[in-house]
Amino acid sequence: MVLLKRRILFPWLLSATVMYGISYVWHGLALTDISELKIDLSTYLVLSGLAYLVIGLGLVTLMHIGIGREWISLKSGFPLKCMIAGACAGVVIYLVIFMSGLSFASHGLQHVVVDALWQVFEQAIGGLMVSLGLIYDMHRSFMEAERVH
């Protein structure tokens, strides 16, 4: 089965690391939201790291299911399709975060729109990282197979 032959670890860790990094840059450096936290910074960093590991694994699983069911083709526009799938996941994740009240600041309309757009962008980048991780892994597998012959 194609799904079982594809590796998960590299695309998962790549997407989680990149999303965690750009989230820290956005919330910590651009908006300085992190300075307004009501919990300890180290606790926040650990919990957000775990959250991005879960999101990254979810994106990898989503891409593998899409590839396995031929919703996502490896032949044309694969990175773009993965970005779109990631953006859709970002909408769902934002709705869960918003409805749970886990957002950083007040819920004015401007904040809601900017936060939603950021979440969509962040998960789209996560989807792109999954696609690049899968492409790299497929290339590496191909090169290993070529060495055998």
Instruction: Report H helices in 1-149.
Output: 2-5, 9-24, 41-68, 78-100, 109-148
pLDDT score at 34: 73
Q: What is d(CA 17, CA 25) in angstroms, rounded to the nearest whole number?
A: 12
How far, in whole angstroms, is CA 83 from its chain's centroid?
A: 9
CA distances from 16 to 2, 42, 54 (A): 23, 18, 8
Q: In a structure prediction context, what are the per-residue pLDDT tens digits for the chain, which is 149 residues long?
A: 444 455 788 899 999 999 999 998 888 777 777 777 788 888 988 999 999 999 999 999 999 898 889 888 888 889 999 999 999 999 999 999 888 877 665 667 787 788 889 899 999 999 999 999 998 888 887 787 777 76
pLDDT score at 60: 94
Count the Cβ atoms, other than its own, within 10 Å of residue 72.
19
Task: For residue 123, give the nearest of 30, 54, 29, 65 by alpha carbon.
Answer: 54
